[in-house]
Amino acid sequence: GAFFNIVMARATRPGCYSGRVRRTRWLGPYRLLYRIASGGMAEIYRAVITTPDGTPHDVAIKRLLPRYNEDEEFITMLADEARITAELSHPNIAQVYEFGVVDGQHVLAMEFLDAVDLRSLLRRCREREQPISPTLAVFIVEQALRGLHYAHTRVGPDGQPMNVVHRDFSPSNLLVSFDGQVKLIDFGIAKARLNRSHTRGGIIKGKVKYMSPEQTLGRRLDARSDVFAAGVVLYYAVTGQLPFFAPSDAELMVAIREQDPDPPSRQHPLLDPAFDALLLRALRKEPEARYPGAADFADALHAWLASRDPGCGADRLGRLVSRIFARERMEAELQAGECGFDDDPEPTPSQAARHYTRLVDPGHFTGSRLAPDPRADVEAWLATRRHEDEDDSDDFWTADAATHELPRREDATNPHGSASQTHGGADETTTRRAR
């Protein structure tokens, strides 16, 4: 596994910030500009750090809430996860810079992204009755799969495989930027949180709608579980519906293991049998029947895309995001320009050092990963999001919660809506305690 929420801000809509920082202006070497959002686990801030060469850089700072700062075992595990994620440097993975503690507060420094998540993009397209094109959806998932493959095959500093599995691949964990980049976020939050000492055995964590069959059973996962989740995301993106239907989450777990999804071409006229075949392979029940790795699935999607729409790529994606989120982006840039504190002097390096201890520092602030950005004159905007659950931090699934019998197909309903309906929670976190 890897670390948690890289860009975890959860606000009511993109560009809707929580306001300026009014009390805490500095966290060690980080100058906080404004709070982006507050969730069940942490507060998120936009911040600036000045590297040794004097260059200021925007970063996102996640500050853990007090109840997590008091859990020593949890903090230790998070630090271990931070070390893993900090080793993942790939164009399709949002970067973690360092993890540290200042005045007893644990903070994580992350890449500050000018992007929206796929969940918001799909919802906005649906609200405008302009569903995203299948080829653009294929491009997005293909790019994310490249990041997954890198994580799956990454070798650690000791020369041993890191065996990273995302475990929570979903639309809310895929960011699409205003210049058409695709970034995978939120590595390992489920695993990090599940490994606390008081957690019972047989617990499953994740968004049920995107779980693989083996994940619903609490089995050990490998890269092929992420391949299945990527197939579910792509199916949803191109059809507006999820591939498995059931009236409750517990029954949905059984449906994932037992139902056969309809070919996506039945839902969209621009899809063909060749696309059906490549997507349905990712959704096979047995891991051995799926693509052996994320790169294999990505290659299949790339070949299909090249034969149908070779011009589809980052430029087109960037234009789409810029067009449909133009107002929110303008609001965010205006608010960013209003932030700052003239009355709060910057601490000297020695003052900052007295209050800040780096727990995980892969050397990213030596300039290797914070080199001057040619787009630094453009105000960065971190699109914020949140799950519809107020706080799912303590909600878990037990393995025996999925022992319910699957209702007859004719009795099962699809609670997720259709392509013509507003995207109403098909990708929200659906972790519940088994009743």
Report the C-alpha gap between 222 and 152 in whole angstroms: 8
Calculate ∠ Cα 198-65-362, nearest 5°: 90
The pLDDT-based confidence of 142 (bands split at 50, 70, 90) is very high
pLDDT single digits (tens) 40-90 = 777 888 888 887 888 888 898 888 888 888 877 667 666 766 777 788 899
Q: Is the pLDDT of residue 200 over 70?
A: no
Ramachandran angles phi, psi of 59, nearest 5°: -140, 165
| Those residues with Cβ within 8 angstroms of residue 260's Cβ, 6 or more apart along the chain or in another chain | none
Q: Which residues form the catalytic set?
A: 168
Per-range mean pLDDT, top range of 21-25, 162-166, 365-369: 162-166
**Which has more confidence, 267 or 331?**
267
User: Of 120-129, 136-145, 241-250, 395-404, which gets the smallest average pLDDT?
Assistant: 395-404
- As a whole-number percent, the residues of the chain with pLDDT over 90 amount to 38
The residues facing 183 across adjacent strands are: 175
pLDDT single digits (tens) 209-248 = 999 999 999 998 999 999 999 999 999 999 999 999 999 9
Report the C-alpha gap between 401 and 217 in whole angstroms: 9
Sign of the Cα pseudo-torsion (207, 10, 108, 59, in order): positive
Question: For position 262, what pLDDT does the model report?
Answer: 96
β-strands 96-102, 105-111: how paired? antiparallel
Q: Which two tokens stand for residue 432?
A: 């519940």
**Which has more confidence, 428 or 220?**
220
**Which has more confidence, 419 or 295?**
295
pLDDT single digits (tens) 383-401 = 333 333 333 332 333 333 3
Q: Is the pLDDT of residue 151 over 70?
A: yes
Per-range mean pLDDT, top range of 74-83, 285-294, 348-357: 285-294
Report the C-alpha gap between 102 and 28 in whole angstroms: 6
Question: For position 257, what pLDDT does the model report?
Answer: 98
Question: For position 335, what pLDDT does the model report?
Answer: 61
Backbone angle region of 240, left / alpha / beta, with phi > 0 → left and psi within -120 to 50 → alpha = left
Tell me the average pLDDT across 249-267. 96
Tell me the average pLDDT across 270-293. 97
Q: Is the pLDDT of residue 406 over 60?
A: no
Q: Which of 282, 263, 283 is nearest to 273 (CA)?
A: 263
- 50 exposure class (CB count in 10 Å sphere: 0-12, 13-18, 19+): middle
Q: Is the pLDDT of residue 163 over 90?
A: no
Q: Which of 121, 59, 133, 78 is nearest to 382 (CA)?
A: 59
Q: Is the pLDDT of residue 405 over 60?
A: no
Tell me the average pLDDT across 100-107. 80
Domains and CATH numbers, the chain: 19-114+325-366 (3.30.200.20), 115-320+390-411 (1.10.510.10)
Average pLDDT, the chain: 73
Per-range mean pLDDT, top range of 116-130, 282-296, 321-335, 375-389: 282-296
**Which has more confidence, 390 or 299?**
299
**Which has more confidence, 395 or 115?**
115
Kindly report the number of other CB atoms within 10 A of residue 18's CB atom. Answer: 16
